[in-house]
Structure 1
Amino acid sequence: MPSSAPARSRPAPWSGETRPPRRSRWATLLRVLLPALLIVGWLAVAGVGGPFFGKISEVSTNDQSSFLPESTESTRVTDLQGQFRDSDAIPAIVLLVREGGLEPADRAWAEETVASVQDSGPVEGRLSPPIPSEDGEALQVVVPLPDGEVVEDVEALSERFAQDRPEGLQAYVTGPAGFTADLVAGFEGIDGLLLGVALAVVFVILLVVYRSPVLPVLVLLTSVFALSAAILVVYWLAANDLVTISGQVQGILFILVVGAATDYSLLYTARYRDALLHHRGRAEATRAALKGSVEPIVASGATVIAGLLCLLLSDLASNQALGPVASVGIVMSILAALSFLPAVLYATGRGAFWPFRPRFDASGAERVRVVGHGAGHRPTVEGRGVWASVARFVARAPRAIWVVTTAVLLVLAGFSTQFQATGVEQSELVLGESQARDGQEALAEHFPGGSGSPAVVLVPTGSLDAAVTAIEDTAGVADVSAVANDSPSGTLPLGENAAPPVGPFAGVEPTEAEGLYQLQATLADAADSPAAEQTVRELRENLAAVDEEILVGGTTATNLDTNETSIADRTLIIPVILVVITLILMLLLRSVLAPVLLILTTVVSFFSALGVAALVFEHVLGLPGADPSVPLFGFVFLVALGIDYNIFLMSRVREESLVHGTRAGILRGLTLTGGVITSAGIVLAATFAALAVIPIMFLVQLAFIVAFGVLLDALIVRSLLVPALTYDIGRAIWWPAHRRIDL
């Protein structure tokens, strides 16, 4: 007998459920308009923010002294120095060397060239006359360059001292201006080269992962749009002096946004593809994908942001800036991955996965089937595939797996004690060839190593004589002079070894400003060397005994204060990050034990990466050490980003455990998330590895530590250690809420 039920209530042949009522026109219109508005909105953001890719360098600085807090002694000296000078010139040192001794023609040419440079620039102030070395093989000229286009000015100076130079006479441009030019030139590739390499690497990986030419483009567009929005906000913050950004902060922002946005996109795309298998319509699949991905993506992003914002506790402006700047990048990554990507995937539907389009499965069969679970049984995973095999491996010997992997990681972590992060010489910051570095080495052979970069001492007028005596008595000081504006050279030699004030120095007195004299102590060792830093420590101690109001600054003091501040920051911020992230995990997983164990595994993974880095940097790359902020930045990114993969895994495990029980939930969660998390880890490691194309030691070291650490987290910790450990513990892993989840 025919059914009398209305046609709109007949069972849908593909689902076994009643067909829903016909949608209203407004609902249909909204389904079209909302994705279109989101896509157009992000296109507009990219159009506005795109031009700022090249402009952000205009609001960044690499002046180390600008990052120190006002309370440090070297910063106070820098502020007071303005009373003794009319400009912010950066000194360059031109060194002329002839092995075996200078010839009269060399001196005549040097004097003629100095006069020519003085007349036609690029200079800001008076050049020193050519100063001969005691061995008669070298001349030194101090050239004050304007604080602006340092790279161009150093190149122009090099060209001027190359013109008509006597054969056999070598010339170098070194000193603060030379090293600043190297640093600025090293960061020049950030705007184009770094971003281009990162995007190219990610595109290749996505092609391999998705085997589709369409989907990688959509994911990369998501990352680029997120980066455009982040750069727009960061540029505004820096232009209004709300943050002080440097080249390294800029580079990290680019890499972090591309990596994070791609990771979040991978997670959403995996959920969407899975939803298309269970839902015929794109709208239903989109709702299901968003429901399954919003919580882990937002939780992951919140964890990273919380860790980054802990950097606001730093006393260094560069570290402080990275907190909000990178947090802006993470926020934009989340927004793009949860708005633009769902909209564009909704618009393209299954076509985005061409040629391997996911087909709707009317049977509703589960992708992963765990059998044998229940009281007194050990569950196992049925099916093929790498991650099904990994899950079966974990189920067979969980305790042996987590014990062995932990032991291996602890052995690697033991080498972290060899990681030297007490600072590196300025001459070592830029990798590759460096005229400034070669010139510094040659300068130290013929003059006191600190020539051109003296320690600056500000002395109350009543303590001048005692201060000069204390400076001369300090080991490591070659000579001392005072700033004297009436002197032809701008300085007045002082102390027992100084020549009598006759000739051009007759009647010259040190310049006094606000009751202070400015003294310059030339150090025997290179200004950026550990020996020079020790000399500054002793100078401060000896001069404090003379007068507590005496201040010691200059290039060496700035390096010293920066290193000591970085070490203090590291000691304070790392424990704070651990506490904050642990609390967030407790709220997310509704557990106490699981978050503590996840944090411990991530910390062990970090120290393992640091141990491997120590071996590679010393024995493979031959690097002389590391900046104190390298371990701090490495810890922030590895703990915050490494915990991401545990969040992706454990949030899915908890979801599955509530339905199937803990041990079955662990195996299902591992199998379902294995591919996407591994892909995300490889992508993030590859993006951070792209930092190595910038020839700055800090970025190369950070690139290796984070890239290796992320791979370690994604492939070992998250794939074997965490699943095996939680499987071995069982239901108790959710303590104190473990009684709500059955075995």
Structure 2
Amino acid sequence: MLRKLTSLPSGRVAKWVVLAFWVVLLVPAVMLAGKLGDVEENDSSAWLPSNAESTKVVERVEKFGLADTVPAIVVYDRADGVTDADMAKATADAKAFQNIQNVVGDPQGPVKSQDGKAVQTVVQVQKDKSGWDGLGKVVDAMTDVGEKNTDGLGFHVTGPAGQASDSIKAFSGGGSLTTITALVVVVILLLTYRSPWLPLVSLVTVGGALITSEAVIYLLAKHADLVVNAQTSFTLTVLVFGAATDYALLLISRYREELRRHEDRHEAMAEALHRSSPAIIASAATVAISLMLLMLATLNSTQGLGPACAVGVLVGLLAMVTLMPALLVICGRWVFWPVKPAYGSKASAKEGIWTKVGTAVSGKPRLVWIGTALALGVMCLGMFNLKADGLANKDQFTNKPQTAVGEEIQAEHFPAGSGDPIYVVTKAASAQQVSTALADVRGIAGVSPPIVEGEDAILLGELEDNPSSDAAMRTVEQARDTVHRIDGADAQVGGNAAVIRDTQEAAARDSRVIIPIVLVVVFLILAALLRAVVAPLLLMGTVVLSFGAALGVSSLVFEHVFGFAGEEASFPLLSFVFLVALGIDYNIFLVTRVREIAPLQGTRPAALKGLSATGSVITSAGLVLAGTFAAMASLPLVFAAELGFAVAFGVLLDTLVVRSVLVTALTLDVGRWMWWPSNLFRQQEPSGPVAVEPERETARA
């Protein structure tokens, strides 16, 4: 049945039907994909679960008209002191700001700092359906007003609105990210196949998969309440390019083998699909299911990222087993020009690098795998250096945007939390008691008079520290402990600082819950694929060890090489899911080939022949995936740079060391016990030394 299904795209007529299907599909997909940005929810409060305290505060303050506003903090500074003319300009600017669309209410200020060197005005900006884009337009308009006639007076827009504006500029590099990712894929494919046409076919297929994925995700966000944001978009791009190209490499490699064995290219593709599809499907299923488990997250941003990326992987799989085979068969053998695989020709019998690696490992496999595991274990020690407790606003960019400069100036001359208070909603009857208690909390610089609406009252607590700092997080915790103890007050603490704190807690909970479940599910997939228990356990162990080593090295590089302040709270979980799911990919590619050969020649010879046969294609696949994730560094965001580096380094480590050395050495040492308790386990190993035969003589089960 599987053979019939996989052979369909390579049929003499079916190939044209498949091509027509994708052409028709892409017409509406292009239009829908272009609307994905319209359904992004980039407001940090929208990422939180509904049961988070800060989320409940957002719901309760709607009646006060504060739920849909974001403060923009305007800071002026002059080193030798603010003049009367400067104050006059700040006052005139405040009036001009009110004429900007989406600016609501009267600005607070301008207020001169105690040292007389800075002025601050707080402007409330109404959020609209355009989200970040709307805030960015307001900040740009305010900047146009404020930068006129400055005469040496410094001007900056900071606070949550300024942060949103700089984030827009950072994420606007999504187009360049796609271009860089595509170039990485093309260059690696050119080096791999030395053909100008194969990269083009792969790029067309991957591009179709990405567009279709974005269209499907748009529909899910529009009609099924899937939460997507800018982070989802750039992660989807690199994942689809990386994973789909990996599948293309595996298919092309097998197709090239079969073209030497079959005169008819349609038959060659049918056989190539039959042989490679189990590994490709198992790989995609492992990644997709692992990503779908992110739906168990309480953090909405993580919860939405999982199914969105799973859609990308599955659409990439569909494209690679339908559109890619059809295009290759339509093009014919000339697509491999200038090195076309002729019927009856033999692959080069020259001993390749992976044959040499296998020969070296086979000498003392136990010593090799123990030594490799110990080295990886030492690398894991760097995980103790990980500081995944979130990043302050000023530390979220790899460069220093204007909002970070303004934030530093504000903190130097004003209470760092001014203009971005915490909100405390309470019963009106308890408002005075809550106000008194809140004022005594360490880290609260002052409390506004209560605003009463119906049975509720709201208090604004000015923070002494930056709202995204660790000190502000402690203040939020103390404020909650204090107001929660007041009987009958029904007091809850929200605001941007509380949102950040709740995000940290949700991310920590998600890691504790999801990581063990991913491990169990991936193990079950491997057990079903390999029909064994020992091999899946060993493979899982190698991947987890590889993940720990990658994270350990990455944390040291982040601090001592890149100078980053820390990691986002969701970084460990996302790194784990990507590295484990994608790392298992390469083990699946290798071990399924070993299992294919083992019934004929035994497990130990199969381990070396499997490494020899798959080494080049898996290395190329690893380079593609590492390159696409490394392209994330083109975005000036610390989170993107860190996730991209960790995944890229982890993939290379898994490809070049774990899969080729550790897994091969383990297989050679364990032998037929790898397949326990399946029937293959009962097959006796051949006697005599283990040797690697040329790839061209690889047996076919």
TM-score under structure 1 normalisation?
Answer: 0.88
Does 2:693 correspond to 1:726? no
Counterpart-to-counterpart distance in 1, 2:476 and 2:663: 49
User: Cα distance, 1:119 vs. partner?
Assistant: 3.9
Task: Note the alpha carbon deviations across 1:301-348, whole angstroms, 9 max, x for none.
Answer: 111111111101100111111111111111111111111111111112
Structure 1 letter corresponding to 2:123:
V
**Structure 2 equivalent of residue 429 of structure 1:** 396
User: Out of 598, 601, 610, which is 1:657 matched to?
Assistant: 598
Task: Note the alpha carbon deviations across 1:581-634, whole angstroms, 9 max, x for none.
Answer: 001100101110100010000000001000110111000011000011111111
Structure 2 letter corresponding to 1:465:
Q
Task: Note the alpha carbon deviations across 1:463-482, whole angstroms, 9 max, x for none.
Answer: 12211111111111111103
Does 2:313 correspond to 1:330? yes
Please identify, of 677-686 and 56-65, the stretch whose mean Cα deviation from structure 2 is larger: 56-65
**Structure 1 equivalent of residue 198 of structure 2:** 215
Counterpart-to-counterpart distance in 2, 1:620 and 1:137: 36
Structure 2 letter corresponding to 1:641:
L
Counterpart-to-counterpart distance in 2, 1:102 and 1:690: 44
CA contact (8 A) 1:122 1:156 kept: no
Structure 1 letter corresponding to 2:195:
S
**Structure 2 equivalent of residue 518 of structure 1:** 458
Counterpart-to-counterpart distance in 2, 1:57 and 1:92: 23
CA contact (8 A) 1:609 1:709 kept: yes
CA contact (8 A) 1:453 1:522 kept: yes
**Structure 1 equivalent of residue 111 of structure 2:** 131
**Structure 2 equivalent of residue 158 of structure 1:** 143
Counterpart-to-counterpart distance in 2, 1:67 and 1:673: 42
**Structure 2 equivalent of residue 44 of structure 1:** 24
**Structure 1 equivalent of residue 68 of structure 2:** 88
Structure 2 letter corresponding to 1:542:
T
TM-score under structure 2 normalisation?
Answer: 0.93
User: Cα distance, 1:719 vs. partner?
Assistant: 0.7
User: Cα distance, 1:107 vs. partner?
Assistant: 1.7
CA contact (8 A) 2:674 2:681 kept: no
Task: Note the alpha carbon deviations across 1:77-103, whole angstroms, 9 max, x for none.
Answer: 011111001772221011122234322
**Structure 1 equivalent of residue 541 of structure 2:** 600
**Structure 1 equivalent of residue 364 of structure 2:** 397
User: Out of 455, 458, 468, which is 2:422 matched to?
Assistant: 455
User: Cα distance, 1:391 vs. partner?
Assistant: 2.0
Counterpart-to-counterpart distance in 1, 2:600 and 2:283: 23
Task: Note the alpha carbon deviations across 1:38-58, whole angstroms, 9 max, x for none.
Answer: 112222323332344442111
- Secondary structure at the aligned position of 2:458 is classed as strand
**Structure 2 equivalent of residue 302 of structure 1:** 285
CA contact (8 A) 1:102 1:138 kept: yes
Does 2:448 correspond to 1:465? no
CA contact (8 A) 2:33 2:212 kept: no
User: Cα distance, 1:122 vs. partner?
Assistant: 5.8
Task: Note the alpha carbon deviations across 1:170-223, whole angstroms, 9 max, x for none.
Answer: 221111100111112211111x11111000111011001000011111111111
Does 2:428 correspond to 1:443? no
CA contact (8 A) 1:662 1:742 kept: no
Equivalent residues in 2 for 1:591-740 (5 A)? 591-737=532-678, 738-740=680-682
Bigger radius of gyration: 1
- Secondary structure at the aligned position of 2:104 is classed as coil
Counterpart-to-counterpart distance in 2, 1:732 and 1:131: 76
Structure 2 letter corresponding to 1:247:
A
User: Out of 680, 684, 692, which is 1:742 matched to?
Assistant: 684
Counterpart-to-counterpart distance in 2, 1:91 and 1:330: 39
Counterpart-to-counterpart distance in 2, 1:252 and 1:120: 34
Structure 2 letter corresponding to 1:178:
G
User: Out of 255, 262, 272, which is 1:272 matched to?
Assistant: 255
Aligned residues: 672
User: Out of 114, 133, 139, which is 2:94 matched to?
Assistant: 114
Counterpart-to-counterpart distance in 2, 1:307 and 1:288: 29
CA contact (8 A) 1:43 1:225 kept: no
Does 2:300 correspond to 1:347? no
**Structure 2 equivalent of residue 358 of structure 1:** 341
TM-align CA RMSD: 1.8
**Structure 1 equivalent of residue 246 of structure 2:** 263
Counterpart-to-counterpart distance in 1, 2:179 and 2:226: 26
Counterpart-to-counterpart distance in 1, 2:154 and 2:300: 40
User: Out of 294, 304, 308, which is 1:321 matched to?
Assistant: 304
Counterpart-to-counterpart distance in 1, 2:67 and 2:245: 47
- Secondary structure at the aligned position of 2:72 is classed as strand
Counterpart-to-counterpart distance in 2, 1:28 and 1:398: 43
- Secondary structure at the aligned position of 1:287 is classed as helix
- Secondary structure at the aligned position of 2:51 is classed as coil
Counterpart-to-counterpart distance in 1, 2:214 and 2:101: 36
**Structure 1 equivalent of residue 3 of structure 2:** none
Structure 1 letter corresponding to 2:161:
A
C-alpha distance 473-86 of structure 1, shift in aligned 2 (>3 A): closer
Please identify, of 428-437 and 210-219, the stretch whose mean Cα deviation from structure 2 is larger: 428-437
Structure 2 letter corresponding to 1:340:
L
Counterpart-to-counterpart distance in 2, 1:250 and 1:393: 43
Equivalent residues in 2 for 1:133-282 (5 A)? 133-148=113-128, 149-165=134-150, 167-190=151-174, 192-282=175-265
Counterpart-to-counterpart distance in 2, 1:119 and 1:322: 38
CA contact (8 A) 1:657 1:741 kept: no
**Structure 1 equivalent of residue 690 of structure 2:** none
**Structure 1 equivalent of residue 383 of structure 2:** 416
C-alpha distance 28-593 of structure 1, shift in aligned 2 (>3 A): closer
- Secondary structure at the aligned position of 1:455 is classed as strand
**Structure 1 equivalent of residue 699 of structure 2:** none
Structure 1 letter corresponding to 2:153:
L
**Structure 2 equivalent of residue 564 of structure 1:** 505
Which runs of no fewer than 5 residues in structure 2 stay unpaired? 1-6, 129-133, 686-701
C-alpha distance 662-125 of structure 1, shift in aligned 2 (>3 A): same
C-alpha distance 316-28 of structure 1, shift in aligned 2 (>3 A): closer
Identity of aligned residues (%): 42
User: Cα distance, 1:121 vs. partner?
Assistant: 5.1
**Structure 2 equivalent of residue 496 of structure 1:** none
Please identify, of 574-583 and 435-444, the stretch whose mean Cα deviation from structure 2 is larger: 435-444
Task: Note the alpha carbon deviations across 1:99-126, whole angstroms, 9 max, x for none.
Answer: 3432222222222222233245562222
**Structure 2 equivalent of residue 5 of structure 1:** none
Counterpart-to-counterpart distance in 2, 1:600 and 1:30: 38
Counterpart-to-counterpart distance in 1, 2:552 and 2:574: 16
Counterpart-to-counterpart distance in 2, 1:478 and 1:229: 52
CA contact (8 A) 2:246 2:625 kept: yes
CA contact (8 A) 2:422 2:498 kept: yes
Counterpart-to-counterpart distance in 1, 2:651 and 2:93: 54
Structure 2 letter corresponding to 1:160:
V
- Secondary structure at the aligned position of 1:126 is classed as strand
User: Out of 429, 441, 445, which is 1:474 matched to?
Assistant: 441
Counterpart-to-counterpart distance in 1, 2:68 and 2:360: 66
User: Cα distance, 1:511 vs. partner?
Assistant: 3.2
- Secondary structure at the aligned position of 1:91 is classed as strand
Structure 2 letter corresponding to 1:512:
V
**Structure 1 equivalent of residue 353 of structure 2:** 386
User: Out of 575, 581, 592, which is 2:516 matched to?
Assistant: 575
CA contact (8 A) 2:22 2:323 kept: yes
